[in-house]
Amino acid sequence: MTDGSAPNAFLFDWDNTLVDSWGVIHEALRETFIAMGQRPWTMEEVRRNVRASARDAFPQLFGDRAQEAIDVFYRAFEARHLDALRPLPNAEACLRALHAGGHYLGVVSNKRGSLLRKEVDHLGWSGLFGAAIGATDAARDKPAVDPVLMALEPGGLKPSVAVWFVGDADIDMVCAHNSGCTAVLVAKETPVAGEFHSDAPDRHFGDLAALLAALSITI
């Protein structure tokens, strides 16, 4: 890709874009729902409903017990997340290839920032990212523009179409469009008409290897 649409920076979602997190999220939410006296979600419900950060989502789920639920969730999550952490196929090779090519890389996640950075460190990826920004690091969480600005700041960059925001979910596409970045969906299934409403991805790739291939990068 050599035209004006070629990216000079990439911001990645974390969970289920670069690493497999559904299992540990499901278990932590199961403990939380039980502690709150509610029926735990199935894995299908977790995959369908988990998008926003806990500080944005839990008040709707648990009302005035939201902070109690947040505490339960993060205790359960932190107890197991590093042991369960697994990169998705081609994730590390993709990051290293982009980094070697001189692209600025960052992470924008709705996982609590301190836990996010522990996971980045655990995988040995800290040197690949200019910043890894998670929930509560900024005044507002994804899909607001605040964490995008924070993630780009160390590279001296501003949001633009030359920044590809790469994620697996609708909230990532909303965040990309809110900030003026190119919205890149990485998902096995091709989006159906109307699935993303007004926040349809600008580009779609079945996996990270396909994204690199579109940039004429081999791994």
Find the CATH number of the domain harbouring 131: 3.40.50.1000
pLDDT for residue 219: 77
Of the residues 60, 84, 108, the one at which a domain ends: 84
Strand order in the sheet with 131-135: 131-135, 104-112, 9-12, 163-167, 182-186, 203-205
Q: Which of 157, 156, 137, 160 is nearest to 147 (CA)?
A: 137
* Structural domain total, the chain: 2
Q: What is the pLDDT of residues 19-40, one digit of tens each?
A: 998 899 999 999 999 999 999 9
Residue 65 belongs to what domain range? 22-84
Q: Which of 163, 215, 176 is nearest to 2 (CA)?
A: 215
Q: What is the pLDDT of residues 42-85, one digit of tens each?
A: 999 998 888 888 889 999 999 999 999 999 999 999 998 999 89
| Strands 86-87 and 104-112, sheet pairing | unpaired
Q: For residue 4, is pLDDT > 60?
A: no
Considering the domain architecture, whether residues 191 and 150 belong to the same structural domain is answered as yes
Of the residues 84, 106, 125, the one at which a domain ends: 84
Question: Residue 155 and residue 9: Cα distance in Å, rounded?
Answer: 9
Considering the domain architecture, whether residues 68 and 155 belong to the same structural domain is answered as no
Considering the domain architecture, whether residues 108 and 14 belong to the same structural domain is answered as yes
- Residue 152 falls within a domain, yes or no? yes
The answer to whether 209 and 177 are in contact (CB under 8 A) is no
Considering the domain architecture, whether residues 91 and 163 belong to the same structural domain is answered as yes
The answer to whether 109 and 15 are in contact (CB under 8 A) is yes
